[in-house]
Amino acid sequence: MVIKPKVRGFICTNAHPMGCAASVSEQIQYVKQQGGYDSGPKNVLVLGCSTGYGLASRIVSAFGYGASTLGVCFEKAPTERKTATAGWYNTAAFHQQAQEQGLYARTLNGDAFSTEMKQQVIDVIKQDLGQVDLVIYSLAAPRRTDPETGEVYKSTLKPVGQAYKTKTYDTDKDLVHEVELEPANDEEIFNTVKVMGGEDWELWMDALGEAGVLADDCKTTAYTYIGKELTWPIYGHATIGKAKEDLDRAAQAIRTKHKDKRAEAYVSSLKALVTQASSAIPVMPLYISLIYKVMKQEGTHEGCIEQIHGLFTSRLFAEQPELDEAGRLRMDGKETNDATQAKIKALWDQVTQENFHELSDYAGYHHEFLKLFGFDIDGVDYDADVDPQVGW
Ligand code: NAD
């Protein structure tokens, strides 16, 4: 099969196995070239391990610290006529390289929100690892089935309190235009917190704790985006921001419940960048295209792997990690500092349909977007006939 990108709106509906493998290799090479892996995790559970920040966390754990990794993801397998999802191919490439290096890796593909998946993970930990000393919570999902009631909750991306009118960029039509986003009602806010808040993170930690598979002094972290004034109306102070606030509550609850294990639970704030999750958020493609421009000029541009390498080596496994006023680990300073935000705001105010490509780094954004699905990567022959049936 010759595989070319099929982009529909903010998603690409296919993926390239060789391209995904190249992108995973690039991240592994980066991690191997860096240092700072003094004391770190040995047995790591990564929830949301196949793409974005979760995949980067798995790569840093395995290829930086030499840890055994157990991953959970929700990806589609290939068929004879359809490619797999990118996360499937990323996982296959991760497994191949881990095996070559003699690193333990196992991945369970299914719904991390379910009780069954929690039990399967516990069984695998008991059988293969004994206990885990790090749990990464990196799920990004549009819906969640409540394991107790069976009710399906859907998240929404809407402002809270009042409507919000802003510029946005339509990646499909190459159009900068105004959008007016209606505020969410209480039910939509509640549902978004149900999906993306801290409840499931707590359920995971409870299940692992009760099963006796959490090591003493274990650590866990969930990822958040806090941002600044430009993104607050649609992120930080919006429905998704309410869900992320709930992570702070959950972190505290986890620390209290697992005191006997001296468990450390953190919310880690990361920078905005192109992933399958962020490209679905209105306004984000415009904002990210502008921050790429400014941060590349400042020499501070980072992707998932650089952020996570920094998070592990300079925060999560540092002797005395620096915390913000809410007890979070912060890796977003290069984006959210006042000087950088002022430059982004100046561009934001000026940007129009006419000057968008000149003022922004949309070319960089688009390249990164295609790369998520294994496309637009140097050295990959996109005219070659490839077998989509790759697995692990
Ligand atoms: P992503 O879409 O790249 O990854 C999501 C992962 O979750 C994938 O591995 C997917 O398979 C898995 N997943 C989704 N639903 C699942 C389910 N039901 N069961 C099992 N696995 C499931 O997302 P990302 O951008 O890396 O986001 C990860 C976390 O980082 C999120 O909490 C997000 O809010 C946060 N974050 C993202 C950004 C950003 O700019 N992308 C910035 C800061 C924080």
Q: What does the pLDDT read at residue 148? A: 95
Instruction: For ligand 1, pick from 278, 281, 329 the residue to mutate: most ligand atoms within 8 Å of CB.
Output: 278
Task: Note the pLDDT tens digit of each residue in 74-115.
Answer: 999 999 999 999 999 999 999 999 999 999 999 999 999 999
Q: Which residues contact 267 (CB under 8 A, 6 or more apart)?
A: 221, 222, 223, 224, 244, 247, 248, 251, 326, 327, 328, 329
**What phi and psi values does residue 111 have, to the nearest 5 degrees?**
-85, 110
- Residues of the chain where predicted confidence (pLDDT) is lower than 50: none
- Which residue has the CA at smallest separation from atom 39 of ligand 1? 272
Cβ–ligand 1 distance for 225 under 6 Å, the answer yes
Give distance in angstroms: CA of 71 to centre of ligand 1.
Answer: 13
Cβ–ligand 1 distance for 7 under 6 Å, the answer no
Residue 196 Cα: closest atom of ligand 1: 32
Cβ–ligand 1 distance for 23 under 6 Å, the answer no
Cβ–ligand 1 distance for 365 under 6 Å, the answer no
Q: What does the pLDDT read at residue 282? A: 80
Asked about 266 being catalytic, the answer comes back as no
Length, in residues, of the chain: 392
Which residue type does 254 have? I
- Report the alpha-carbon distance of residue 247 to residue 250 in Å, rounded: 5
Please name which of 75, 81, 97, 77 lies closest in space to residue 26, comparing C-alpha atoms.
97
Give distance in angstroms: CA of 352 to centre of ligand 1.
Answer: 31
- Which residue has the CA at smallest separation from atom 18 of ligand 1? 111
Q: What does the pLDDT read at residue 234? A: 92
Q: What does the pLDDT read at residue 172? A: 84
Cβ–ligand 1 distance for 139 under 6 Å, the answer yes
Residue 372 Cα: closest atom of ligand 1: 3
- Report the alpha-carbon distance of residue 120 to residue 383 in Å, rounded: 40
Q: Which residues contact 244 (CB under 8 A, 6 or more apart)?
A: 196, 197, 224, 225, 226, 236, 267
The separation between CA 279 and the C-alpha centre of its own chain, rounded to angstroms, equals 12
Cβ–ligand 1 distance for 292 under 6 Å, the answer no
**CA 72 vs CA 47, 77, 90, 137, 148: distances in Å:** 5, 14, 13, 10, 20
Cβ–ligand 1 distance for 52 under 6 Å, the answer yes
Parallel/antiparallel/unpaired status of strands 164-170 and 11-12: unpaired
Q: What does the pLDDT read at residue 281? A: 86
Catalytic residue among 223, 225, 235, 365: 235
Give distance in angstroms: CA of 385 to centre of ligand 1.
Answer: 31
Q: What does the pLDDT read at residue 349? A: 95
Task: Note the pLDDT tens digit of each residue in 340-391.
Answer: 999 999 999 999 999 999 999 999 999 999 999 999 999 999 999 999 999 9
Cβ–ligand 1 distance for 287 under 6 Å, the answer no
Instruction: For ligand 1, pick from 47, 113, 223 the residue to mutate: most ligand atoms within 8 Å of CB.
Output: 223
Cβ–ligand 1 distance for 75 under 6 Å, the answer yes
Give distance in angstroms: CA of 55 to centre of ligand 1.
Answer: 9
Please name which of 326, 283, 296 lies closest in space to residue 166, comparing C-alpha atoms.
283
Structure token pair of residue 106: 């196992």
Q: What does the pLDDT read at residue 255? A: 98
Residue 73 Cα: closest atom of ligand 1: 21
Residue boundaries of the structural domains of the chain? 7-372
Q: What does the pLDDT read at residue 209? A: 98
Residue 50 Cα: closest atom of ligand 1: 9
Q: What does the pLDDT read at residue 290? A: 97
Q: Which overall architecture, per CATH, does domain 7-372 show? A: 3-Layer(aba) Sandwich (3.40)
Instruction: For ligand 1, pick from 11, 60, 74 the residue to mutate: most ligand atoms within 8 Å of CB.
Output: 74
**What phi and psi values does residue 54 have, to the nearest 5 degrees?**
-70, -45
Q: What does the pLDDT read at residue 142? A: 96
Instruction: Give yes or no for a contact between 173 and 194, defined as CB atoms under 8 angstroms apart.
Output: no
Q: What does the pLDDT read at residue 201? A: 98
- Which residue has the CA at smallest separation from atom 27 of ligand 1? 140
pTM: 0.98
Parallel/antiparallel/unpaired status of strands 105-109 and 152-154: unpaired
